[in-house]
Structure 1
Amino acid sequence: MKITKLFVIVALCLFTLPSFSQDTAYIRPDASGSGWVTMFNKGLTNAVFPAGVWSDSSGIFTATKDEALWSKDEYDDFVLDLDFMNAEGTNSGVMVHATDTKDWIPHSVEIQIADDYSKEWSSVSPTWQCAAIFGHQAATNKTLHKAGEWNHFTITCRGRKIWVVLNGTLVNTCDMSLFTSAKINPDGSEIPSWLSNPMATLPLHGHVGFQGKHAGAPIYFKNIKIKRLS
């Protein structure tokens, strides 16, 4: 009887422990703490990108063309912390789990960045707007700052789950394992044809990337830090 009661108490305690999402992704982490590293060196000397496209101006990274900026290292589970600033009409993104950096679109997951206030992106599908898992799942409860103002992203990838925190608010929680089709999302919405690999089948080890000057508008990044999770 005592053993049974003890088992129940232990089970209840475990059940009430904070989940990973509550402990890590809901709260903006202290990116100066243990385990955090700056992803790119000064001048982007440890980054992968076509010569002459990306530049570092006092720690602010931007591109002149629609060519991505990639980490040399590959990652499994991690937390990524960064600031981004849109221009008018920006359409960019952060790519995770990228196994092919040349043909990255079907071989990665993109967390969308967009100027949702612009004419171009204010009326598109919510899965194409800022903080969405592009083409798959829209963000909710978001407060996006307007073009010319800095925004803060924290992106946590652990197993097949992704948490997106925008300006201190959890706006997207995605379970990749639910996305088993390359044509239709679990909610019945259509997936863009160029996302030809179901998210549920994507490897979970890959590069982290940042989309360049897409659709004619620039994007700006700074303070990019990453922490590997055991």
Structure 2
Amino acid sequence: MYKCIVLAVAGLALAGCCCCCSSSTSCPAAAQCPTAAQCPAAGALAWQDLFAPDLSDAIAPQGVWEFKDGILTASEDQCIWTKGDHENFVLDLEFKTADETNSGVIVYCSNIENWIPNSVEIQIADDYADMWAKEPPSWHCGAIFGHIPPAKTLVKKPGEWNRMTITCKGPMICVVLNGERATTMDMRLFTSAKTNPDGTEIPSWLSTPLATMATKGRIGLQGKHGNAPIWFRNVKIATLK
């Protein structure tokens, strides 16, 4: 189903990340894809839905999250979580924003009751809204929130579907948004809770240095944060070996 994933573990050490891309028929960004010889055989990755249609395998407040016609959305500012921990994986999903949407994909969460300082968040936001455009670049869509900004504005305008692929391999995290690499992170470099390696300030509520975090944890999706909705579909995960 998903036929093109760059899995070069050696490349992780040399290039700083495992860049990934996937499609049911072809890769969205040919320049970032391996050759046919480098692609794993069809079915080499066991893709599965992150959440069951009835959400029986999820942790979420009753009645807040629901699937409707294959689209997952929330009525309140509450997260939905996997019941189990995940490590070394590729997460592939589509999302759609509204005006002023502020959401995110959360990985490596060790405490879902106090997730903000105990996880890594890949930001989803309506970068076209004035309220987000004026915020620091590391708050923009595709950023590792509070730490690394996206390479450029890659999110589509509200009402359009976006494709995001997140590869997590130990301390290495790579985010591809709409076919282009948005961010690459080596958590081991982030030894401070106050400043990033590039000297920018870390928001005070992100009080745990990323270098000290476990590279295994729950995966979550942020709900209707800031009163603006978010929609997800085709949220799938595959484990890397």
1:171 aligns with one of 166, 173, 182: 182
- Give the TM-score, by structure 1 length: 0.88
Paired position in structure 2 for 1:110: 121
**Match 2:108 to one of 88, 97, 101:** 97
Contact 2:142/2:177, CA 8 A, preserved across alignment: yes
Offset at residue 44 of structure 1 (A): 1.5
2:228 corresponds, among 201, 211, 217, to 217
Deviation at 1:142, TM superposition (A): 4.0
Deviations 1:144-179 (A, max 9, x none): 110000000000000101000000111111111110
Please tell me whether residue 27 in structure 1 is matched to residue 26 in structure 2.
Answer: no
Q: 1:157 to 1:30 in 2, by over 3 A?
A: farther
Q: CA deviation at 1:19?
A: 1.9
Structure 1 residue 26, shift from structure 2 partner: 4.1
Q: Distance in 2 between matches of 1:76 and 1:51?
A: 27
Structure 1 or 2, whichever has the larger Rg, is: 1
Supply the RMSD in Å over aligned alpha carbons.
Answer: 2.1
Please say if residues 125 and 132 of structure 2, whose CA atoms lie closer than 8 Å, have aligned partners that are also in contact: yes
Shift of 1:123: 1.2
What corresponds to 1:197 in structure 2? Answer: 208
Q: Displacement of 1:120 after TM fit?
A: 1.4
TM superposition score normalised by structure 2 = 0.84
Shift of 1:30: 5.2
CA deviation vs aligned residue, 1:18-47 (integer Å, no higher than 9, x gap): 724699524335598431111111121211
SS in 2 for 1:79: strand
Is contact 1:142-1:166 (8 Å) kept? no
Instruction: Check if 1:86 corresponds to 2:78.
Output: no
Can you give the 5+ residue segments of structure 1 that lack an aligned partner in the other structure? 1-16
